[in-house]
Amino acid sequence: MRILLIGASGLLGRAVADALAEHDLVTASRSDTERVDLTDTDSIAALYDRLGQVDAVACAAGVTPFAPIGELTVDQYRAGITDKLLGQIALVRLGLDHVTDGGSFTLISGVLSEDPIATGSVAGTVNGGVQAFVRSSAIELPRGLRINTVSPTVLAEAWDAYGDFFPGYPPVPVAEAGRGYVKSILGAQTGQVYRVGY
């Protein structure tokens, strides 16, 4: 299976790449050999044009700012929406003609859409938007295409950096989140939010 993986150089992306290592992986990011910027639709379209057909697209990338709501600006909300939400929507919309019949898209959301933390209102808003997009687009994708999102809680390997923001949350090993992508790509379901660790 030929799989396009966006964000393979990050913590989650490396785990997804490891979980899918037996497949023909094409990796892309802002710094990879195949370059792509989720905030730039021309960049996404050019990536698809270079690659041609793939059997699945998986995204493990997307940036959202964290700050107390009283300090967040509208531009910071706009930045999170442009990158993680609209970037993934564009990845699907522009990829429709580049994914083979019966293929799939797997996006990334996260626990904060359902279980918020202080400073996480941008991430919660964006993750909720990703999940709504997955459910609503699943009912009309053409040619048997499927779409799901993987929604992990805080990753154990990132606990030292982020644990203080997630009091009482049980961290999940990143490899478990990687397996969520395997379930989405190799499984048969669509319109699902695969919750990992919660």
> Residue-wise pLDDT tens for the chain (198 aa)?
999 999 999 999 999 999 999 999 999 998 878 999 999 999 999 999 999 999 999 999 999 999 999 999 999 999 999 999 999 999 999 999 999 999 999 999 999 999 999 999 999 999 999 999 999 999 999 999 999 999 999 999 999 999 999 999 999 999 999 999 999 999 999 999 999 999
Secondary structure element (H or E) that encloses residue 92, with its range: helix 87-95
- Tell me 83's DSSP state: I
**Stated pTM of the model:** 0.97
Residue 33 is predicted with a pLDDT of 83
Residue 32 is predicted with a pLDDT of 77
Instruction: Please tell me the total count of domains within the chain.
Output: 1
Measured CA to CA in angstroms, residue 45 lies from 49, 110, 152, 153 at distances of 6, 26, 28, 31
User: Residue 28 pairs with which residues in a beta bridge?
Assistant: 6, 34
Residue 19 is predicted with a pLDDT of 98
- The domain of 150 spans 2-196
Q: What is the CATH number of the domain that holds 66?
A: 3.40.50.720
